[in-house]
Structure 1
């Protein structure tokens, strides 16, 4: 039996989490609900849960303060947050599980099932949480990105990524040291995540770090020549925008 707690300051969200856990995850026992940083810390210390459903925005504070005061911790966290928050982007950079408000039942099931699988496999998320806190503290500086493969967690500096290549629902990262890392997430997700950090998608199959572009070859429709001599195709639709971005670097 997996023991869980919910920490959320909205009664309606508390009830949603309670109902969905009961309906879809009978193997999960809800041991209690907290509604603040203080009550959340007390609840976790008392119940020692395997799983914590943690609201990011808690009254005048955040759920991150709970994690900071309980380090190192042995439970798995699934964050609950709204759209378009900086915290959500930091969570994505860290490859941590989250549920968006308003809650979609399918997405809720996917996030909780993934968390349960990792609990059963004995996986620890300390490294990912370390990246999360670093991202939150250094909003305008270079970012670290957690890439999860079947057997490893890779912590990569965004500045070391030359380009990404899409293969259906998989994305392969090509790094500065010629290392390649393939993850089972779409390139569109990484385009959204890295768009504010010097990355551009010149072609449906590629996402490039503009800081590693050596030159643009305008012949034969257009190619990007990377500093590692790799050639990246440029779609006709993106060619003008690419040139404008390069000129403004």
Structure 2
């Protein structure tokens, strides 16, 4: 099945690279058009009704996010392209949307198109783009939402509602303020790179805590924290200084 695909890119060299990668590594992605401005992109998407959109974050007269905001519906899979590891990348990662850093590597490109095929085959709702726009609007606040991958799909959770999360083999268990848990199919290291710039701290190789929910810290060789839900979590000796610097 051919997947209707468009590219939003204002740099000719980058556009040619993406076209070549699609032709060689994703022949099932049918390129139906390209655009290099916000208004042209909106018009192209509304005309073609693509299943996949590759968009550069920065284009000549705005951003790829400006395009998304102007659309009445966003029923497609999205891949963001950028030359900079910026705040926008953090918002994209929180939303579990694929992104590619320029210059684009072949393994990263193949991984992105594989994820897209999987999501399309699973017929999942396109909620990630709405989540992305929410997170962009909430940058530098604790009102961001995170997309948590589960065995059945994704759960979208306010990061301010996460008390702590812990490693369980290759899985991660999220403990939430409403006394529920979510089991994620991703490991704790994946979430560390997202959460620890948002007032979370990895205090042990098995746990990351939200500093807002610490009830007390008990000193000792390593010590331990008591969280608002009663959880007692060891602070490892190796991570103790980082933790104390955040208190």
TM-score under structure 1 length normalisation: 0.91
C-alpha change, 1:80 and 1:169, in structure 2 (3 Å) is farther
Q: Deviations over 1:119-167 (max 9, x none)?
A: 2222221x32222212212223222212132324322111111111123
Partner of 1:147: 148
Partner of 1:176: 177
Segment drifting more, 186-195 vs 231-240? 186-195
The runs of 5 or more residues in structure 1 that have no matched partner are: none
RMSD, aligned CA: 1.8
Q: 2:79·2:112 contact (CA, 8 Å) conserved in 1?
A: yes
Secondary structure of the residue aligned to 1:221 is coil
Q: CA deviation at 1:209?
A: 0.7
Secondary structure of the residue aligned to 2:124 is coil
Segment drifting more, 135-144 vs 55-64? 135-144
Partner of 1:200: 201
CA distance in 1, matches of 2:186, 2:85: 20
The runs of 5 or more residues in structure 2 that have no matched partner are: none
CA distance in 1, matches of 2:171, 2:82: 26
C-alpha change, 1:83 and 1:206, in structure 2 (3 Å) is farther
Partner of 1:132: 132
CA distance in 1, matches of 2:83, 2:234: 36
TM-score under structure 2 length normalisation: 0.91
Q: Find out whether 1:156 has 2:157 as its counterpart.
A: yes
**Count of residues in correspondence between the two structures:** 245
CA distance in 2, matches of 1:147, 1:82: 26
Q: 1:202·1:239 contact (CA, 8 Å) conserved in 2?
A: yes
Q: CA deviation at 1:181?
A: 1.2
Q: Deviations over 1:228-249 (max 9, x none)?
A: 1211111112223322321xxx
Partner of 1:98: 99
Segment drifting more, 116-125 vs 62-71? 116-125
C-alpha change, 1:73 and 1:238, in structure 2 (3 Å) is closer
CA distance in 2, matches of 1:27, 1:94: 25
CA distance in 2, matches of 1:21, 1:168: 36
Segment drifting more, 103-112 vs 80-89? 80-89
Matches within 5 A, 1:204-223: 204-219=205-220, 221-223=222-224
Q: Find out whether 1:21 has 2:36 as its counterpart.
A: no
